[in-house]
Amino acid sequence: GRVIAFEPDPDLFSAAVENVRRNGKTGTVQLHNCALGAQPAELYLQRGQVNSGDNRLRRSDPGTARSIAVRVLRLDDVVGSEKVDWIKVDVQGWECDVFEGMEQTLVRNLETLQVCFEFWPHGIRQAGRDPREVVAILRRSGYSIYRRESSTQLTDAELESYSRSAGRLTFLNLLAYRAAP
């Protein structure tokens, strides 16, 4: 297999490059120093003060010392017609944009692709989107949504209820794939 990974933070990207080199995986891991989104662009990465896993994109420069401009690509443009089996997305609320930039990949690989993602309503709202959009994009492409640890599909009503009641730090790990006919 082959891994294609995206990391917009230059420091974390450098660490990933070194990790791949040390583990002798330069031929099987392709790294991109950019974020993924709906359209090619330049956005701003607000680096977390304590936790680098909490870096977040911004549409405009927040004007802080921990903010840097980053390149954004669409996954569809990077993978082209390549077969994709597994996608893991953890982008602190920017899932709508990422999924919009991979709609062709989603449709083309519907029979075998599984998408694991973090569903964080508070973060999605901070990114200027509605949590219902995340699920709508995937369902439009033919995917059903499941809790990662369950084989029971989540309904719109369950996701809506969760979105309303979820706290600022509460998220679900979800899995999207085509339900068996």
Q: How does pLDDT run along the chain (181 residues), one tens digit per residue?
A: 899 999 999 999 999 999 999 999 999 999 999 999 999 999 999 987 777 778 888 888 888 888 999 999 999 999 999 999 999 999 999 999 999 999 999 999 999 999 999 999 999 999 999 999 999 999 999 999 999 888 889 999 999 999 999 988 899 999 999 987 6
Q: What is the pTM of this model?
A: 0.93
Q: How far apart are CA 65 and CA 68, in angstroms?
A: 8
